Amino acid sequence: MQTTYKILVVDDDADIVELLQYNLTKEGYDVTHAENGKEAIAVATQFQPDIILMDVMMPIMDGITACRHLREMPECKDTYILFLTARSEEFSEVAAFEAGADDFITKPIKPRALLSRLSAFVRRGNQGAADQNEVIQVGNIKIDRTSFSVFKGDERITLPKKEFELLAFLANTPDKVFNREELLNNIWGTDVYVIARTVDVHIRKVREKIGEDHIKTIKGVGYKFNTD
């Protein structure tokens, strides 16, 4: 079980960086920082963080663009990315999840609330895999939780962590319909506030990679892994 999680704080506001570094270090996290998205990519390559806390609006490279680049890096494919922003409009949240974010928190930042979210993530990371089937085989789709790999026939498909978890959760009980709230609670957890649209975004991305026919929409209800 991992005991020390590495966190990269990305923000051009020195006061926010100082606040976060102080509180996170006090909780036992290994913390470093970057001042913009471009620098974050360079730092992440060497530091290989478990968690990235990143502002959206920054000079040189904004957080949304940086997140897309980070998700393409093998070092950050499964990194937990949480956006920090003063902007609360829904379109910003949707854009963040489209780019590959896992969570979204608005400023001003309340350290206690942030630490609670991070603790929930750490608990899920340490406990999650133990209670679930390690290998799921449904039709021509094989999902291996131990290696975070997905195969469609002989083709290996790479999915970011949340997309992988969503696919594995649905495939673990094929033909059972889950509504958006159930999927949000099981994949993102009850300690994280995300909008229902987040599920739709991730479902669309999974379909793009494994094929449209494997996850079926039940209109007005939710989604299921299809075995028809």
Average per-residue pLDDT for the chain: 85
Domain count for the chain: 2
Mean pLDDT to the nearest integer, 8-12: 96
Domain boundary residue among 74, 103, 128?
A: 128
For residue 105, count other CB atoms closer than 10 A to its CB: 16
Residue 91: per-residue pLDDT: 54
Residue 66: per-residue pLDDT: 95
Whether residue 210 sits in one domain with residue 190: yes
- Going by their DSSP bridges, the two strands 80-85 and 135-138 should be labelled as unpaired
Res. 194: pLDDT tops 80 = no
Whether residue 121 sits in one domain with residue 100: yes
Distance, in Å, from the CA atom of 156 to the CA atom of 152, rounded to the nearest integer, reads 6
Confidence tier at 124 by pLDDT (50, 70, 90):
low
Whether residue 185 sits in one domain with residue 141: yes
Whether residue 198 sits in one domain with residue 185: yes
CB 150 within 8 A of CB 141: yes
Residue 131: per-residue pLDDT: 47
Does residue 104 belong to any structural domain of this protein? yes
Look at the block and give the residue holding tokens 């630490």.
115
Domain that holds residue 187: 132-225
What are the contacts of 34-37 at 24+ separation with CB within 8 A?
34/8, 34/9, 34/10, 35/10, 35/11, 36/10, 36/12, 36/60, 36/61, 36/66, 37/10, 37/61, 37/62, 37/63, 37/65, 37/66, 37/67, 37/69
Amino acid, res. 207: R
Q: pTM of this prediction? A: 0.65
Mean pLDDT to the nearest integer, 31-55: 95
Whether residue 10 sits in one domain with residue 46: yes
Which residues on adjacent β-strands are paired with residue 30? 6
Whether residue 199 sits in one domain with residue 120: no
Whether residue 123 sits in one domain with residue 38: yes
- Select the more confidently predicted residue: 124 or 131: 124
Any idea what the Cα angle at residue 49 is, between residues 7 and 116, rounded to 5°?
40
Does residue 1 belong to any structural domain of this protein? no
The CATH number given to whatever domain includes residue 164 is 1.10.10.10
Grouping H, G, I as helix, E, B as strand and the rest as coil, residue 13 is coil
Whether residue 102 sits in one domain with residue 26: yes
Distance, in Å, from the CA atom of 207 to the CA atom of 213, rounded to the nearest integer, reads 8
Res. 129: pLDDT tops 50 = no
Whether residue 168 sits in one domain with residue 186: yes
